[in-house]
Structure 1
Amino acid sequence: MKNWARNNKGFLAFLVLFGVFRTAVADWNPIPSASMHPNLLEGDVVLVNRLAFDLKVPLTNVVLAHLGEPQRGDIVTFRSPRDNTLLIKRVVALPGDVVEMRNERLYINGKGADYRVVEHSLDSVGGTAMRALQLAETWGDKAARGPRHIQIMPDVLAPRTFGPVTVPRGEYLMLGDNRDNSADSRVIGLVPRKLLVGRAERVLVSADYQGNWMPRTERFGMSLYHPD
């Protein structure tokens, strides 16, 4: 074993540095579900900036320093407070915000979001094609990343009304962009800052793994924050 390690020390050093990079600097995560339609698709692989919020000891979750604060509209990866599963959702409400949803419309600090119809389409839920409506959602907040597309599915049973909820200090409310097909803060609860992993920045590569596995080259390098 010692001889093997000595003969392969370059490879072992590479593995250690690779692990440090992925756990402390940047990571890439595949999208496994439809919860972020229409912006993220199954088969996308997203680049995650792990230095967006915290500097952590490599290979651990020990925080050395806070480097930044999440903004409304950020797409973030985090560990579920329910079962520690790695999830990706959008930050909708920050500490101190009062947030509620009334029949699918979001209200933050008493101000309702504005919506514009973008497209009528179909999407699959449990293998069944169902009506989907894509909307441009604007929160009217200069601090938020501005307009984003969301999707609602009128025929799906989903929690379309909640709150008002005041977000406590150090916690965040997350929603999937596919509002009626997402196990987000309406299911798992608010997300403590310590469970945040990083901010998703762009799609690195994409392939239609549910179909013919053809690469979706038009999505390669696509920014997740672009004007409407």
Structure 2
Amino acid sequence: MKMPAKQWLRENRGFLVFLLCFGFFRTAIADWNPIPTGSMRPNLLEGDVVLVNRLAYDFKLPLSEVVIARLGEVQRGDIITFSSPKDGTRLIKRVVAVGGDQVEMRDERLYINGEAARYEDETAVREPVAGLGEWPARRVQEHVGGQRRQVQWLDGVHARSSFAPLTVPPDQLLVLGDNRDNSADSRYIGLVPRQAVIGRAHHILASADLDGVWTPRFERFGMALR
């Protein structure tokens, strides 16, 4: 016998309220984002789940993308989640240049507003690459625009390591993956409109090694991103 709609609503109102509160929280305040690929290695690993602050830049109407209030500005060096301007896929990358910045890349070296990046502390490692297995890579500390982060290149992999000088328009962002030779970023998908930004990732909530048994990586729980 089919249950009347009013009775169903009455018996499940607690669950419905929970769903509404959960939806409000995830779409307006905070969210979490699993890392499915190695595009942000070595700083984010496949199997990490990052905490995303949706109030870092905008307050949006819950369950929508309508901006009610602008709360802050995206800064160089921020790690953001956003909807790809190419196909709407949710991505996570690092902001390298914001509106008004002039940026270019020459043979893997970044230039921001005429300042050439410095690369220090190069270390040879072997990195897992989907379909290729363990691959030789070089990790370095990149210093540019008042920011410092660890990035890497994969030896023998030919990505877009140069692009002409570009002045980023207002309310646009140029983003790159920290794994420079294995990232679908602004070199391939174009600039990211500010309105496509979902939030700023700031900590790793949890992490598990995608080794078939999902071994927890407890040392990464709660780790701050930089």
Q: Same fold (TM over 0.5)?
A: yes
- Larger mean Cα displacement after TM superposition, 21-30 or 116-125: 116-125
Q: How does 1:86-97 map to 2 (within 5 A)?
A: 86-97=90-101
How far off its partner does 1:211 sit?
A: 4.6
Equivalents in 2 of 1:154, 1:60: separation in Å?
A: 43
Identify the residue that residue 225 of structure 2 maps to in structure 1: 224
Q: Please point out which of 31, 37, 48 is paired with 1:33.
A: 37
What is the identity, as a one-letter code, of the residue corresponding to 2:222?
Answer: G
How far off its partner does 1:126 sit?
A: 3.1
Identify the residue that residue 203 of structure 1 maps to in structure 2: 204
Q: Please point out which of 124, 136, 144 is paired with 1:139.
A: 144
How far off its partner does 1:11 sit?
A: 1.1
Tell me, yes or no, if the aligned pair for 1:118 and 1:134 is still in contact at 8 Å: yes
Tell me, yes or no, if the aligned pair for 2:112 and 2:145 is still in contact at 8 Å: no
Structure 2 unpaired stretches of 5+: none
Identify the residue that residue 103 of structure 2 maps to in structure 1: 99
Q: Please point out which of 56, 61, 64 is paired with 1:57.
A: 61
Give secondary structure in 2 for the equivalent of 1:224: coil
- Larger mean Cα displacement after TM superposition, 83-92 or 147-156: 147-156
How far off its partner does 1:163 sit?
A: 1.5
Structure 1: which 4+ aligned runs deviate by more than 6 Å? none
Q: How does 1:179-194 map to 2 (within 5 A)?
A: 179-194=180-195
How does the TM-score come out when normalised to structure 1? 0.94
Identify the residue that residue 19 of structure 1 maps to in structure 2: 23
State the Cα deviation string for residues 59-109 of structure 1 (Å, max 9, x = none). 000001110001110000000001000000000001011100011000001
Tell me, yes or no, if the aligned pair for 2:39 and 2:182 is still in contact at 8 Å: yes
Equivalents in 2 of 1:210, 1:98: separation in Å?
A: 42
Identify the residue that residue 119 of structure 1 maps to in structure 2: 123
% same residue: 60
Structure 1 unpaired stretches of 5+: none
How far off its partner does 1:113 sit?
A: 0.8
Q: Please point out which of 88, 110, 113 is paired with 1:109.
A: 113
Q: How does 1:168-187 map to 2 (within 5 A)?
A: 168-187=169-188
Equivalents in 2 of 1:116, 1:138: separation in Å?
A: 8
Aligned residues: 221
Give yes or no for the alignment of 1:10 onto 2:11.
no
Equivalents in 2 of 1:168, 1:210: separation in Å?
A: 42
Give secondary structure in 1 for the equivalent of 2:21: helix
Equivalents in 1 of 2:123, 2:116: separation in Å?
A: 21
How far off its partner does 1:140 sit?
A: 4.3
Equivalents in 2 of 1:166, 1:111: separation in Å?
A: 14
User: RMSD over aligned Cα, in angstroms?
Assistant: 1.0
How does the TM-score come out when normalised to structure 2? 0.95
Identify the residue that residue 158 of structure 1 maps to in structure 2: 159
How far off its partner does 1:209 sit?
A: 1.6
Equivalents in 2 of 1:109, 1:93: separation in Å?
A: 9
What is the identity, as a one-letter code, of the residue corresponding to 2:96?
Answer: V
Give secondary structure in 1 for the equivalent of 2:104: strand
Tell me, yes or no, if the aligned pair for 1:117 and 1:133 is still in contact at 8 Å: no
